[in-house]
Amino acid sequence: MNKDDMILISVDDHTVEPPNMFKNHLAAKYVDDAPRLVHNPDGSDMWKFRDMVIPNVALNAVAGRPKEEYGLEPQGLDEIRPGCYNVDERIKDMNAGGILASICFPSFPGFAGRLFATDDPEFSVALVQAYNDWHIDEWCGAYPARFIPMALPVIWDAEACAAEVRRVSKKGVHALTFSENPAAMGYPSFHNEYWNPLWKALCDTNTVMNIHIGSSGKLAITAPDAPMDVLITLQPMNIVQAAADLLWSKPIKEYPELKIALSEGGTGWIPYFLERADRTFEMHSTWTHQNFGGKLPSEVFRDHFLTCFISDKVGVSLRNMIGVDNIAWEADYPHSDSLWPGAPEELWEVLSLNDVPGDEINKMTHENAMRWYSFDPFTHIPREQANVGALRKAAAGHDVSIRALSHHKDSRSGSSVAEFTASAKELAGNKD
């Protein structure tokens, strides 16, 4: 195997929603009250919904821009690649990056759809369903072999959320995005029986719950005036907390078919995490009364959790301590952790450095994603047309040059942890 032979499925990318996304999917009585994209005199774009404003229409969607322009921007659709919001252009960018298929997380509603929670439950559910139908029917449906569809939750109502999981499963959806800490958003924690209808729906429909770092808006920080580098370094700590919360929770024991993906969480931390969990069980379970049915926590982790990485040299080197069947690759397009369009080169370098055999490469690059998400792109596209080399050949002539696009260079200087945290809360839809 060589670099061009790899078949890449990314389990974590992002969509910047287009202005007309509600047009075909929301009942006429709700259209005038729906979120709308507003173009401002200064050239920026923002989503407005009732008294709420999401000013960063494309937060961190910096693919194709020089690193000097990375940050809390972009602020307008004209500052990002069309592939962020136009599905036809996204396919061209995926081809150029050698990426066969992708899971796309939402942007302006927040990873858990909190923005759509209103004082009118019927309207709120209609917004979630409209978003999901746009994402499933228009975005993913335009190229069935190229996207793994994922639904937004009705996070403020467990029963309604379970019903939405069942509804979209009939449309072939086996992924749900969710908060990594619902208690931080003012909802019951994972330990509360409130969520039992959702756990059952997920298991009944073979749906994976995807918890993305920062999805609750509560980030691991040391101080509001700390350098931004501190927050970025600590980003995976948010998913470590979620992994511990869920691993020791009742649902993991009571719902053996439950599947959870730790989205954009990396993998290098997992071997120690599992060692620590087993040690905790060995030393303390007699008085904490934890019971995993004769298994160790590390074994139960491998039964329930999918992890993902971008390059992660440490995680790949320790892959057998994690479980090769529990690892999937991600591109994180169009965010700043992604090295699009050069991700295959970076990934191949890491795999080669660790002498990863071909069967394990296949598992981590696409087979695990296909199995976990009940997704088979090869019903639509032949394997020989699905690898890095073939996709890049199909993208011949597509412009992937790095270009400066920012219209707001001065606003980037001095960005603080406090500003980033505020943006994360907006992305999560937090209203406090």
pLDDT tens for 135-166 read 999 999 999 999 999 999 999 999 999 999 99
Q: Do 58 and 107 contact (CB within 8 A), yes or no? A: yes
The confidence score (pLDDT) of residue 220 equals 79
Can you read off the two tokens belonging to residue 36?
């709308």
Dihedral over Cα of 230, 236, 239, 240: its sign = negative
pLDDT tier, 54 (very low <50, low <70, confident <90, very high otherwise): confident
Q: What own/partner pairs with CB < 8 Å and gap ≥ 24 does 279-283 have?
A: none
Helix (H, G, I), strand (E, B) or coil at 99: strand
- Asked whether residue 169 carries a pLDDT value surpassing 70, the answer given is yes
pLDDT tens, 89-111?
999 999 999 999 999 999 999 99
The confidence score (pLDDT) of residue 72 equals 64
Q: Is the pLDDT higher at 212 or at 57?
A: 212
State phi, psi for 38 to the nearest 5 degrees.
-115, 130
Residues 6+ apart with CB under 8 A from 286: none
pLDDT tens, 370-398?
999 999 999 999 999 999 999 999 999 99
pLDDT tens, 196-250?
999 999 999 999 999 998 888 777 788 888 888 888 888 888 899 999 999 999 9
- Asked whether residue 415 carries a pLDDT value surpassing 60, the answer given is no
The confidence score (pLDDT) of residue 237 equals 81
Instruction: Give the CATH superfamily of 3-428.
Output: Metal-dependent hydrolases (3.20.20.140)
- Asked whether residue 132 carries a pLDDT value surpassing 80, the answer given is yes
pLDDT tier, 46 (very low <50, low <70, confident <90, very high otherwise): very high
The confidence score (pLDDT) of residue 428 equals 60
The candidate with the shortest Cα–Cα distance to 154, out of 133, 137, 177, 175, is: 177
The confidence score (pLDDT) of residue 414 equals 46
The confidence score (pLDDT) of residue 425 equals 58
Q: Do 38 and 45 contact (CB within 8 A), yes or no? A: yes
pLDDT tens, 246-281?
999 999 999 999 999 999 999 999 999 999 999 999
The confidence score (pLDDT) of residue 316 equals 98
Region 322-327: what's the mean pLDDT? 98
Helix (H, G, I), strand (E, B) or coil at 48: strand
pLDDT tier, 420 (very low <50, low <70, confident <90, very high otherwise): low
Q: Do 178 and 153 contact (CB within 8 A), yes or no? A: yes
Q: Which helix (H) or strand (E) holds 13?
A: strand 8-14
Tokens 């992708």, residue located: 102
The confidence score (pLDDT) of residue 228 equals 85
State phi, psi for 9 to the nearest 5 degrees.
-120, 120
The confidence score (pLDDT) of residue 138 equals 98
Can you read off the two tokens belonging to residue 369?
């994603």
Helix (H, G, I), strand (E, B) or coil at 388: helix
Least confident range from 67-81, 159-173, 304-318: namely: 67-81
Helices (H), 9-61: 28-31
Least confident range from 42-46, 98-102, 176-180, 356-360: namely: 42-46
Whole-angstrom Cα Rg for the chain: 21
The confidence score (pLDDT) of residue 238 equals 83
Mean per-residue pLDDT of the chain: 92
The ranges assigned to domains in the chain are: 3-428
176-193 in b/e form (b: 16+ CB < 10 A) is bbbbbbbebbebeebeee
Tokens 């407005």, residue located: 48
Least confident range from 81-90, 329-338, 401-410, 414-423: namely: 414-423
